[in-house]
Structure 1
Amino acid sequence: MLPVLSAEALLRLPDGLRPSAAVIVSGTVSDRWPDVLPVLRRHAGLESTRWLALTPPERWPALLAAGADVTLPLASPLSMLAQQIQALVRLSEEQEGLRFQLQQVESALEGWEREERVRDQLVHMLVHDLKNPITAILGLLEVVADDPRLPDDAKDLLEVARDETSHLLHLSLNMLDVRKIQAGKMHLKREQMTAAQLEQTVQQAMGDVGAGLSDRQLTVNIVPMPPLSADPTMLRRVLANLLSNALKHTTQRGLIGVQTEVMGQELLLRVSDNGEGIPAEDIPRLFAAFEQSRLTLHGRFDTGMGLAFCKLAAEEHGGRIWVDSVRGEGSTFTLALPLGQQSQADDDVELLF
């Protein structure tokens, strides 16, 4: 125990001597402890210090209000004083331990936020730096494909080059869009879509996937439905990702189907295939970024961002997405979107952004 005669002397103590518990002896009406104690409790190095006041009972309300943890009469037995001090020391040590853990968590959180900012900047720069040259390459490949002098064997290679270039463009856009949705920077541009408009969006998505679908057996069945409030561009991207996923998991002449069903207040939009299916252990993490099924019939690289984008886009619409799959029989991805008129809140969002 170290005697300190004043608050000023306490503040001048080296950091290593700052007490876990301090005993205040307050015997007169005119002492300054009720004014000084709040300042001491906020002082750096004394945040975890616990305070015991030995003072007449009439002083207890003022000292407790100022921040004293325990008050005892001046004539308290030494055994009681020692017991209280030991309890306060334990409390102080526990609080200091919690403060240290909090500092560790805050430091880790700050590092994580810094890494997230760097990752966002990297993804943004990467996608924008890649998008223009990829689009230019795709355009040039389209021009070459229309050249009648192109040999037949070169046309097959050109189709592969176009498909892979289109796939690379989709990968980069998915990465950017996932980050935008996660950061709340992508906002829906809703339109009231009819069944005919939805079928047109499906056809556009098929075109986005590329010529790879030409050797699959495709079926499209869009049933009549109430107006669907959705962002056609985002929905087209979702369908392109689901169709591309079906293409990846099927062989030539494989079956790929797009069907809709109205169930209650939801439109169920299903993309199914008769491919190899998805292992049950892969399904729980299938919609997470940078995750994909380990089982695929093709060696094409994928970031897993496509299905992550589908999940985020579905939730942005107020809907949901899931997959049903049986090994050896195929998979069905179901996108459930709410039907009905666009709410006033959605109109306000569109006006704001």
Structure 2
Amino acid sequence: MVPSLPVIFVVSADPAVAAALRAQLPEADVVHLRGGDELLREAHAQLPQVVLLYEKTLGPPLAEVLGILRQRAELAATRWLAVGSVGLGELLLAGADALLGSATPPAALAAQVRTLLRRAQQHLQLGERLGALQGRMDNWEHEERVRDQLVHMLVHDLKNPIAAVMGLLQLVEDDPSLSGESRELLRLCRDESQHLLHLTVNMLDVRKIQAGKMNLRRELMFSPMFEELITLACGDVGSGLRERRVEVEVERDLSPVSADPELLRRVIANLVSNALKHTMGGGLVRLEVGAEPAGIRVSVKDDGEGIPPEDIPNLFAAFEQSRLTLHGRFDTGMGLAFCKMAVEGHGGQIWLDSVRGEGAEFHFTLPYAQNADEDDDFAELLS
């Protein structure tokens, strides 16, 4: 297909000026128009890249016509050149891009028109690129909405059956007539069901945080609350933790932090679950909560095999996990991704220290409460 020539309108009562420009610009389709009426009509039929507006024309004033055409979105790339010696101020005010005198030689006029043609073509190319990018953005947003809806439906459809299975397993496990072997198998089933529930909830919460839909329900938290929180989080991990040595140390009289207790409970549970995954029976899992200059630090340490250095940079990304694990349990990697997003949502930081053969230490910080209202609440609690 032969590409069409760029279109140039020459609006003038004198057809000779259009003929002279046509001779200088064989690479363009130069169209002569006698005045404003023809310009309005032809601008609807074809879109010009450059329009030359001469001072002597027929019909309505060109300044009025230009004001009308400048409002049309499809003519946004068109460049308007006023040519003459008097009465062109109104054209400039109406939106003309450039002004040339009527005595300009044809070669110089053609050079100016070529410059405006390049600008018009660049504008069209940028518009096409912007349209393509906008189309890709629209497709991406549509895919994100579909993905969010799918994850939301999947998680909600899974949560209730899993919770029901866990409840039934607990009832059967409490049956005194069960043999020890059967009770152990039921315990393993319940632990795996609990793990599956954590996976589904983490998937939903990561999507919520990414979409900015996770609202923090902050409370002032003191040392006793962290002790209680750790106890609850360890209970969420499952009975496999009973096979580990668990140590907890919470510093006394910590200054309060403003945090969402339920979210922190799940952060700690995910970190303890990760430590469980990397240690063998009889291994050590140690939790510490202590003061830092700008806030408190929560640490979860284990004495497992550690995490390879090459795995550490991407460890907090969704669908990433260390390749070195001591158990075959599948994990999506959403747990650590959730931890990172939840901690950073509180204004804190999370990181990992690990040495192969010496275990891993996950740390995260929470800034001290600074809000004036929270300080007032703190004062009331102490009074």
Q: Same fold (TM over 0.5)?
A: yes
- State the Cα distance separating 1:44 from its structure 2 match: 4.4
- 2:10 — aligned with what? none
Describe the superposition over 1:63-122 as per-residue Cα deviations: whole angstroms up to 9, x where unpaired: 222121111112211111011011111111111111111111111111111111111111
Q: Secondary structure at the match of 2:81?
A: strand
- 1:243 — aligned with what? 272
Q: Which of 1 and 2 has higher RCO (CA within 8 Å, sep 6+)?
A: 1
CA RMSD, aligned part only?
Answer: 2.1
Structure 1 letter corresponding to 2:45: L
The more displaced of 176-185 and 65-74 is 176-185
Q: How does 1:1-353 map to 2 (within 5 A)?
A: 1-5=30-34, 6-14=38-46, 18-27=47-56, 31-59=60-88, 61-224=89-252, 225-340=254-369, 342-344=371-373
Distance 1:10 1:345, change over 3 A: farther
**TM-score with structure 1 setting the length:** 0.91
Distance 1:346 1:264, change over 3 A: closer
The answer as to whether partners of 2:199 and 2:331 remain within 8 angstroms in 1 is yes
- State the Cα distance separating 1:331 from its structure 2 match: 1.4
Q: Secondary structure at the match of 1:168?
A: helix
- 2:12 — aligned with what? none
- State the Cα distance separating 1:31 from its structure 2 match: 5.0
The more displaced of 140-149 and 277-286 is 277-286
Q: Secondary structure at the match of 1:37?
A: helix
Describe the superposition over 1:264-283 as per-residue Cα deviations: whole angstroms up to 9, x where unpaired: 12101001112222222322
- State the Cα distance separating 1:229 from its structure 2 match: 2.0
Which ranges of structure 1 fall in alignment gaps of 5 or more residues? 348-353
Query: How far apart, in 2, do the equivalents of 1:152 and 1:216 lie?
Result: 21
- State the Cα distance separating 1:30 from its structure 2 match: 8.5
Query: How far apart, in 2, do the equivalents of 1:108 and 1:340 lie?
Result: 43
- State the Cα distance separating 1:295 from its structure 2 match: 2.5
Describe the superposition over 1:166-207 as per-residue Cα deviations: whole angstroms up to 9, x where unpaired: 001111111111222222322222222221210111011000
Query: How far apart, in 2, do the equivalents of 1:330 and 1:35 lie?
Result: 79
Q: Which has the larger radius of gyration?
A: 2
The answer as to whether partners of 1:265 and 1:340 remain within 8 angstroms in 2 is no
Which ranges of structure 2 fall in alignment gaps of 5 or more residues? 1-29, 377-383
Query: How far apart, in 1, do the equivalents of 2:370 and 2:106 lie?
Result: 77
The answer as to whether partners of 1:227 and 1:341 remain within 8 angstroms in 2 is no
Equivalent pairs, count:
343
The answer as to whether partners of 2:369 and 2:375 remain within 8 angstroms in 1 is no
**TM-score with structure 2 setting the length:** 0.84
- State the Cα distance separating 1:55 from its structure 2 match: 2.2
